């Protein structure tokens, strides 16, 4: 192998005025873990939804998992931009996430409610990240967390509106 293929990623000091890159990277990593887990769960529900609301739930979840997949990249790149390494193991992703799998296939309505509750969990964690980023002088992470929270809050509304009785 050439030297160009032997380079290993490492943490690099970044001095932009952020006061605690470690805490921010950990919090961003937690959000990344949640995003990955919820992307997968949303995709599974997208595949397995059935019934009269199939088309609506199928289409809504497709837009949501596509958005979250793109967001995972943005979150990981933010971790790298503040000088830290992004999470690199699936076990780490699963361990750092508050999102949990359901043991059974659910009804369309139960799928919507389960996803809505998970989006709420992530929005809460994002609100905490907004505060943490403000405390540690990181307006870029603060903006990213605010935008991601807006997505998750809208997802809650749409899922619950779709499956309301």
Q: With respect to residue 1, please indicate whether it lies within any of the assigned structural domains.
A: no
Q: With respect to residue 11, please indicate whether it lies within any of the assigned structural domains.
A: no
Q: How many domains does the chain have?
A: 1
- Residue 152 maps to which CATH number? 1.20.1260.10
Q: With respect to residue 130, please indicate whether it lies within any of the assigned structural domains.
A: yes
CB 46 within 8 A of CB 62: yes
And the tokens for 9? Answer: 């990623």
Cα three-residue angle 34-108-39, rounded to 5 degrees: 20
Higher-pLDDT residue of 11 and 113 is: 113
Q: With respect to residue 66, please indicate whether it lies within any of the assigned structural domains.
A: yes
> Which of 42-46, 57-61, 116-120, 159-163 is least confident?
159-163
Q: With respect to residue 13, please indicate whether it lies within any of the assigned structural domains.
A: no
Closest CA to 78 of 115, 126, 118: 126
Exposure on the CB side of residue 92, measured as CA atoms within 13 A: 10
Q: With respect to residue 2, please indicate whether it lies within any of the assigned structural domains.
A: no
Q: With respect to residue 9, please indicate whether it lies within any of the assigned structural domains.
A: no
The 10s digit of each residue's pLDDT in 14-31 is 888 898 999 999 999 999
100 pLDDT more than 90? yes
Q: With respect to residue 93, please indicate whether it lies within any of the assigned structural domains.
A: yes
Q: What is the pTM of this model?
A: 0.92
- Which helix (H) or strand (E) covers residue 40, if one does? helix 21-48
Mean pLDDT of the chain: 93
And the tokens for 66? Answer: 């596509």
Structural domain including 131 reads 18-162
Give the pLDDT of residue 94.
93
The 10s digit of each residue's pLDDT in 45-68 is 999 999 999 999 999 999 999 999
Closest CA to 20 of 82, 92, 65: 82
């Amino acid at each position: 192998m050439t030297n160009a293929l032997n380079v290993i990623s490492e943490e690099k000091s970044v001095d932009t005025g952020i006061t605690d890159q470690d805490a921010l990277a950990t919090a961003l990593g937690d959000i990344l873990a949640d995003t990955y887990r919820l992307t997968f769960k949303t995709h599974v529900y997208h595949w397995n939804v059935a019934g009269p609301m199939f088309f609506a739930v199928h289409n809504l979840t497709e837009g949501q998992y596509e958005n979250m997949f793109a967001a995972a990249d943005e979150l990981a790149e933010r971790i790298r931009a503040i000088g830290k390494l992004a999470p690199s193991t699936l076990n780490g992703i699963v361990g750092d996430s508050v999102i949990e799998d359901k043991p059974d296939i659910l009804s369309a309505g139960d799928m919507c409610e389960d996803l809505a509750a998970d989006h709420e969990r992530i929005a809460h964690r994002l609100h905490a990240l907004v505060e943490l980023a403000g405390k540690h002088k990181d307006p870029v992470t603060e903006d990213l967390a605010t935008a991601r929270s807006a997505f998750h809050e809208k997802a809650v509304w749409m899922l619950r509106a779709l499956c309301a009785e």
